C-alpha cells in the first residue's frame, strides 16, 4: 500500500497495491506455484477416488453375497432406522416377511445352482414390485423381508398378496423346467417402542400363522 500527501498536509487514504502480474513473478516462484497447483489437483483426485472406494466398500458390505438385495445386517439397520422414524415423527411403516416353501426339494432334486436361480428370481420379482423408498433384504436362507415405508399393516397385507400374485404369474425356470415353489408371508405394522428383533419375530409369527392356515401360495 502507498500513502500519498495532498495539499494542506493531509494524507490520502491507503490504496490497495495493484495485483502482481504473472510476468512480475520470478521463474522460481512461478514454478513453485505451478507445482502447488498440481499437488492440489492430485490431492483432489485422490480424495474423489478414496470416496468412491469407500462407497463401493459400503455397498459390498451391505449387499447379500448372492443377490442384489441387502444382507441381514444391513436390513436390520434399515429396520431400526424406520422404527426410529416411527417413534420420532409418527411415520408409519410395515414389515413383510417372506418364506419359500419347498425350496429344499428344489436343491435336492436339481442341485444348488437351481436353488440359487430360484432365490435370484424371487429377489428380482420383489425388487421390481416395490418403490424406491422401500427396502428389500435377504434375512437368511430362503427367507426375505421388505420394509414398506409409509404403509400400515393392512396396506402391507394387500401388498404381500399382490406380490404373491406376481410371483405366481412369473414362476422361476431352470433349464427349461418350471420350478414349483410355494410362498408364505406375514405382515407386521411397525410402532414406536418396537425393536428390530421384535418386529422380525412378529412378522415371522404372522407368516407361520398363514402357513398353518393353508394360505401359502404355490406356483
> pLDDT digits over 73-115, tens only?
999 999 999 999 999 999 999 999 999 988 999 999 999 999 9
What pLDDT, on a 0 to 100 scale, did the predictor assign at position 168? 86
For 118-169, what is each residue's pLDDT tens digit? 999 999 999 999 999 999 999 999 999 999 999 999 999 999 999 988 988 8
For residue 216, how far is the Cα from the chain centroid? 29
Q: What are phi and psi of 191, to 5 degrees?
A: -130, 160
**Cα–Cα distance list, 43 to 37, 38, 46, 54, 67 (Å):** 10, 9, 5, 16, 36
What pLDDT, on a 0 to 100 scale, did the predictor assign at position 63? 94
What pLDDT, on a 0 to 100 scale, did the predictor assign at position 73? 96
Joined together, the cell numbers standing for residue 211 give 402357513
- Is residue 2's pLDDT more than 90? no
Min mean pLDDT across 65-69, 190-194, 214-218 is at: 214-218
For the full predicted model, state whether its pTM sits above 0.85.
no
* Separation of alpha carbons 134 and 119, rounded Å: 19
Q: Where are the domains of the chain?
A: 25-62, 72-218
What pLDDT, on a 0 to 100 scale, did the predictor assign at position 17? 45
Split at pLDDT 50, 70, 90, the class of 60 is low
99: exposed, middle or buried (Cβ count in 10 Å: 0-12, 13-18, 19+): buried
| Average model confidence (pLDDT) across the chain | 85
Q: Which CATH number fits domain 72-218: 3.30.70.270, 3.40.50.1820, 3.40.50.920, 3.20.20.70?
A: 3.30.70.270
Active site residue 134: no
Joined together, the cell numbers standing for residue 212 give 398353518
Catalytic residue (one of 64, 99, 142, 204): 142
Q: What is the mean pLDDT of residues 161-180?
A: 90
Split at pLDDT 50, 70, 90, the class of 180 is confident
Query: Which alpha helices (H) appear in 8-143, and where do they start and end?
Result: 27-62, 72-89, 103-110, 112-128
Q: What is the mean pLDDT of residues 16-25?
A: 57
Angle between helices 103-110 and 112-128 (to 10 degrees): 140
Angle between helices 27-62 and 72-89 (to 10 degrees): 90
Percent of the chain with pLDDT over 90: 59
Amino acid at each position: 500500500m502507498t500513502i500519498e500527501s495532498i495539499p494542506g498536509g493531509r494524507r490520502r487514504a491507503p490504496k490497495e497495491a495493484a495485483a502482481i502480474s504473472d510476468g512480475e513473478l520470478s521463474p522460481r516462484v512461478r514454478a513453485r506455484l505451478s507445482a502447488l497447483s498440481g499437488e492440489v489437483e492430485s490431492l483432489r483426485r485422490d480424495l474423489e477416488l478414496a470416496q468412491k472406494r469407500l462407497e463401493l466398500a459400503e455397498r459390498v458390505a451391505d449387499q447379500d453375497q448372492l443377490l442384489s438385495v441387502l444382507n441381514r445386517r444391513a436390513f436390520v439397520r434399515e429396520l431400526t432406522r424406520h422404527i426410529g422414524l416411527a417413534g420420532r415423527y409418527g411415520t408409519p411403516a410395515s414389515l413383510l416377511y417372506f418364506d419359500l416353501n419347498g425350496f429344499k426339494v428344489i436343491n435336492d432334486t436339481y442341485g444348488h445352482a437351481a436353488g440359487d436361480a430360484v432365490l435370484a428370481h424371487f429377489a428380482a420379482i420383489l425388487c421390481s414390485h416395490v418403490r424406491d423408498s422401500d427396502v428389500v433384504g435377504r434375512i437368511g436362507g430362503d427367507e426375505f423381508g421388505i420394509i414398506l415405508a409409509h404403509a400400515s399393516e393392512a396396506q402391507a397385507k394387500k401388498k404381500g398378496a399382490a406380490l404373491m400374485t406376481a410371483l405366481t404369474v412369473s414362476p422361476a425356470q431352470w433349464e427349461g423346467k418350471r420350478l414349483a415353489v410355494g410362498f408364505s408371508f406375514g405382515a407386521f405394522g411397525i410402532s414406536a417402542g418396537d425393536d428390530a428383533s421384535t418386529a422380525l419375530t412378529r412378522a415371522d409369527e404372522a407368516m407361520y400363522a398363514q402357513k398353518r392356515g393353508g394360505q401359502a401360495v404355490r406356483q
